[in-house]
Structure 1
Amino acid sequence: MARQAAGMTTPARTVQITLDCPDPHALALFWAAALGYQLEPPPPGHASWEDALEAFGVPPERRNDRSAVVDPAGQGPRLFFQRSEGPVPSGRRVHLDVRAAPGLLDEERMAALEAECRRLQALGARLVERHEPSPPLERGHLVLSDPAGHVFCLD
């Protein structure tokens, strides 16, 4: 399905809502209970997130850096929680992640994000930051602001 925006067509995108917080797992449990959501299941081939994070080589002290909850019916947005200690420099605690490169990795992922960034810049967005991929958890993303200054990520 394509959408028309400022004379351009693009596939419909999904979004996730991202919340910065000091304890991602605890906040994920709260929102799962509050919304009737569930913790996001571990990747295929892993019985638990602990098993997956161990296999990915994530050190124990970094295993609560992020968490997510999903709507079991698949209709509501994914809520993503990322560790942030103390005040956030930009003052933002909640932002949208525009899922522009699902399933892509490394250079292919960043190229897709850059292409979408150029399209959005033509519509009035501004590139704020570029975050390079940093395995095992970081896949790389771009931070932009919309024409009114609201920050969002291309993920």
Structure 2
Amino acid sequence: MGFQLAIDCADPDRLVSFWAATLGYRAQDPPEGHVTWRDFYVSVGVPAEELGDGDCADRIVDPAGAGPAIWFQIVPERKTLKNRLHLDVLVGGGRSVPVAVRRQRVDAEVERLVRLGATVLSKHDGDTDGQYGVTLADPEGNEFCVA
């Protein structure tokens, strides 16, 4: 049995670009026999007015095949509460790496992600418990952590 992660959103194109760059993923190709995702969705009966503009690329995949596929599903409502599930982007190296080194790695990744459109929400300083991480929001406000 496999699974994919589904993330509700208003603008899949924006999140496909952001999360593909964040995770080292790539946009998923449309199903065989279809030039674009729009072509596929129309072929399975999705009304054109639900598709918006563009080719409807709304999925990313891990090129190595190790991580789950992620589908950015358009929903009408906006995010209003804290996520009950979030992603952790792990770049620090874990507790076997000195906290000063982890802080440097995490901060460098946070700077890169902010340039891609993320917003810093809070920092968890590792001075008291040996952990260091930063909570961010993606371009639509979905929280995730870098540690």
Provide the TM-score with structure 2 as the length reference: 0.46
Q: Kindly name which structure, 1 or 2, has the bigger radius of gyration based on alpha carbons.
A: 2
Higher strand share: 1
Provide the TM-score with structure 1 as the length reference: 0.44
